A = this chain, B = another copy of it.
């Protein structure tokens, strides 16, 4: 892609930091500016080479940006995008890395033919959502990696009001970071990740809660794998559970019905049914690779 002059990243944690490192490693921008609240975190971001400069002043940080990526926690993305749009150059494209998308799209009213004036971003700025499917349970720029997006999917969620050139820019950008870009509506994205990401988190968390401490010494790799994501930050996940509530409840209810089927089969000693469930599970899991 044509080299950008300035990329601004709002929120230089694990994802924001990894984006900065990846942009710098691949020479996609002349400079990367990291914007955050906490000096310590910004210092770490500079130290690991995620950004060239940092600032706690959002207005100053985005003043010359060609592209702004909001990587704060999903509950804050809407407010942060607005603040960015009020302070960045006119006609700038703003994206994010949030793991739920519908709320943001609905707020900016992008999928209607006549967005209300309040819904539009000021001065010609546009928002187009992204979600790089990478991260897991890690927190903070100290764990950031320039290769985090290599071979991973990034979903971009255009609406009927998205400019083709904006989609092209983001597609080129994420592809340059090593991602495979998948185009989906925000609604379809949220329904899918409720199943593939939010349901597993809920299940892993409940599993981690369910085992009494006296049994900890018997815990082996299987339990550790199955609950690994439960180490993720409660703050982040509280927001996700709030923002994608209906899809997550639907996923939980679907999971609950399947779990009840297995429970009934175990209770009745129905070996054929147990084997059918375990075989489907194995086939699905084998198909997904390691």
Contact = CB atoms under 8 A, between A and B. Distances in A.
Contacts of A226: 200, 203-204, 225-229
Contacts of A271: 238, 242
A117 interface: no
Given A197-B220, A220-B134, A258-B206, A211 B249 contact: no
Interface stretch (A10-18, A101-109, A120-128, A281-289): A281-289
Residue with the greatest number of chain B CB neighbours at <10 A, chosen from A193, A202, A222, A251: A222
Interface in A272-287: 274-275, 277-282, 284-287
Contact of A282 (B230, B245, B255, B258): B230
A233 interface: yes
A200 B223 contact: yes
Contacts of A192: 214-215, 218
A152 B209 CA distance: 23
A119 interface: no
Identical copies of this chain, number: 2
Contacts of A286: 231
Nearest to A219: B196
A266 to B, nearest CB: 5
Interface residues of A, number: 88
Contacts of A221: 134, 136
Given A152-B220, A195-B215, A281 B200 contact: no
Interface string A112-156: 000000000000000000000111110000000000000011010
Given A238-B274, A242-B269, A228 B285 contact: yes
Given A238-B274, A254-B210, A281-B209, A218 B288 contact: no
Nearest to A266: B241
A193 B214 CA distance: 12
A203 B201 CA distance: 12
A3 interface: no
Contacts of A202: 259, 262, 266
Contact of A207 (B135, B203, B234, B287): B203
A208 to B, nearest CB: 4
Given A152-B220, A219-B288, A288-B224, A278 B204 contact: no
Contact of A209 (B225, B227, B258, B267): B258
A262 B219 CA distance: 23
5 contacts: A200-B226, A206-B259, A237-B278, A238-B275, A249-B263
The 5 tightest CB contacts between A and B, nearest first, are A234-B278, A205-B281, A208-B281, A133-B220, A200-B226
